[in-house]
Structure 1
Amino acid sequence: MFGRKANRRRTESRLARAKLPTLGSRWARRLRTAVVLPITGVASYGALEGALLVLDRPVRNLEVEGTFQRVSPIQIEAAVADGLDAGFLTLDLSALRERVEALDWVDRAKVGRRWPDTLIVRVTEHQAAARWNESGLLNVRGELFAEGSPHAFPELPSLAGPPGTERDVARRYLAVRGKLAEANLSLERLELDERGSWRLVLGGGQEIRLGRRDLDERFYRFFDVVAPTLAADLRRVEYVDLRYTNGFAVGWRDGPPENLAAVAAVPDRG
């Protein structure tokens, strides 16, 4: 009897060891988490989509800000009109800004939103500093911002040069503008020709020939020597030629004044 009972217990023990493991609490928690996460993600995405549908309402108001002299608010409105099909939250602000900045006379634009349905456009216009060639305009940074302008702007000086030289000519103009004002002179035209030779025309029509080389030294010579020497008779001057190693030549409209001493010069013509 005792032997049989012992055998039965050993058999039951072996069968117990052969059973499959039960699903523990840790595995159950992992399974629940794996199921809950996708469900939660779907619910969150659905909630976000629903919020966008509610919040992404049409733009109903457009505010245009700036000091307008050459650009009108109507032009700004027309520039952004086609881009307002999207909702308030999904507007492409960068694309709208580029449309506004593509307008003539617009230097910079800022585009923003104001809840719940307003688009704000702030505009800064170009400041014209000079005319360029026949009908272009340069801003204060020497950038060509308008071509084929219908307005003449006779109050602005005229700058001219080959294509791509706008900044160089504008820098030269800005460098001499102050000196011209100090000498009580005005500038009508500053020109760079195809050969790289510079000349300027004063407000009284006098032509100042500067050449291709040593421009800074020649400008200084004009302001320090020529302008003071010819101040009393400048209205009679046709041209001043500074293309000399030292000195200058003067062309007169009706002959030189008798009391003006001749100025020695060594030809250079560069």
Structure 2
Amino acid sequence: MWQDIRILNALTNVLIGILLLVLLMSGIWWVIQRPTFTLKTIRIEGVAKNNLRHVNALTIRDAALPKIKGNFFTTNLDVVRSAFETVPWVRRASVQREWPNKLIVVLEEHEVLGTWGEEGRLISAKGDVFTANLAEAEEDSDLIEFIGPDGSEKEVLARYLDFKKWFATINLAPESVQYSNRYAWSLKLNNGMKVELGRVQDEFSLKKRVDQLLTVYPQLLISLRDSIDSVDMRYPNGLALKSSHSSVGLKSKLK
């Protein structure tokens, strides 16, 4: 082999190629480690340049910045994104590089709608359950109370929006919606009245029970002088109600 000029030339070319590649990689590594590319600025923005209401420098410094490693070239953008998504109130983050030593982070905040369950968690207008400061959430608006099995958040939110639309016809709105482990619906309206709707097979059946209540509610309001404590709509052809003017429950048939 050592007397074959062609093999020796080929072997020499391979070794020279490997050497040049090593030198090239070393040069690239030397360049990207220069102080010029050390991250000096991380710019935080809201989606569509909107101001961030709840995310502040303190929470970012405590929750996200310690997890950011590397420089302009070596930092892992997925790790940075995940770090910012652990910050309270952050729903989603996107990250991009800006030459030569900046990161641009765009944050989407949760838009809180209410509380979820009995553990102090919050639910957003998009049905995401998250944990944040309850006092801060209460500054935004009156919170709706939602209760339901884990995994039912989207369904409970969808039914809340239905209830809100349906009861608006009698100038009422839900302030609490509960979906039990037995798949039964109940809600409390902003006049203090509790409504038991029970288990239903589908949205159509649920709306039918609500419509039955909406039909008789004006008459009940007149006869009971706005003193209805609760209404039970779980009867096939009637309802039962409790009034603060009566010590016993009243039952009525629906025509």
TM-score if structure 2 supplies the norm length? 0.79
Paired amino acid for 1:128: V
Q: Which residue of 2 aligns with 1:12?
A: none
Kindly indicate whether the alpha-carbon contact (under 8 Å) linking 2:115 and 2:123 is maintained by their aligned counterparts in 1: yes
Residue aligned with 2:191, SS: coil
Q: Which residue of 1 aligns with 2:20?
A: 43
Moved more, 147-156 or 106-115: 147-156
Superposition deviation, residue 160 in structure 1: 1.6
Residue aligned with 2:213, SS: helix
Moved more, 120-129 or 30-39: 30-39
Residue aligned with 1:248, SS: strand
Superposition deviation, residue 97 in structure 1: 1.1
Superposition deviation, residue 71 in structure 1: 1.1
Q: Which residue of 1 aligns with 2:170?
A: 183
Q: Which residue of 1 aligns with 2:184?
A: 197
- Inter-CA distance 231–39: structure 2 relative to 1 (3 Å threshold): farther
Q: Which residue of 1 aligns with 2:216?
A: 226
Q: Which residue of 2 aligns with 1:15?
A: none
- Higher percent of residues as strand: 2
- Inter-CA distance 85–206: structure 2 relative to 1 (3 Å threshold): closer
- Alignment partner for residue 247 of structure 1, among 222, 229, 238? 238
- Alignment partner for residue 161 of structure 1, among 143, 148, 156? 148
Kindly indicate whether the alpha-carbon contact (under 8 Å) linking 1:136 and 1:148 is maintained by their aligned counterparts in 2: no
Paired amino acid for 2:59: Q
For 1:167 and 1:159, how far apart are their aligned partners in 2?
11
Kindly indicate whether the alpha-carbon contact (under 8 Å) linking 1:173 and 1:190 is maintained by their aligned counterparts in 2: yes
Q: Which residue of 1 aligns with 2:85?
A: 101
Rg comparison, structure with higher value: 1
For 2:242 and 2:67, how far apart are their aligned partners in 1?
61
Paired amino acid for 1:61: T
Q: Which residue of 1 aligns with 2:58?
A: 74
Moved more, 170-179 or 57-66: 170-179
For 2:26 and 2:225, how far apart are their aligned partners in 1?
78
Deviations 1:193-247 (A, max 9, x none): 3444321111010111111234342123233x13454465672222222111123
Q: Does 1:52 align with 2:52?
A: no
Quote the RMSD (CA, aligned, Å): 2.8
Q: Which residue of 2 aligns with 1:215?
A: 206
* Unmatched runs of 5 consecutive residues or more in structure 1: 1-22, 256-261
For 1:75 and 1:151, how far apart are their aligned partners in 2?
14
Q: Which residue of 1 aligns with 2:125?
A: 140
- Alignment partner for residue 65 of structure 1, among 38, 45, 52? 45
Kindly indicate whether the alpha-carbon contact (under 8 Å) linking 2:97 and 2:103 is maintained by their aligned counterparts in 1: yes
Kindly indicate whether the alpha-carbon contact (under 8 Å) linking 2:184 and 2:197 is maintained by their aligned counterparts in 1: yes
Count of residues in Structure 1 that have an aligned counterpart in Structure 2: 234
Deviations 1:8-29 (A, max 9, x none): xxxxxxxxxxxxxxx8xxx745
Kindly indicate whether the alpha-carbon contact (under 8 Å) linking 1:63 and 1:119 is maintained by their aligned counterparts in 2: yes
Kindly indicate whether the alpha-carbon contact (under 8 Å) linking 1:160 and 1:191 is maintained by their aligned counterparts in 2: yes
Percent of residue pairs identical: 29
Kindly indicate whether the alpha-carbon contact (under 8 Å) linking 2:81 and 2:94 is maintained by their aligned counterparts in 1: yes
Superposition deviation, residue 32 in structure 1: 2.2
Q: Which residue of 1 aligns with 2:134?
A: 149
Paired amino acid for 1:174: L
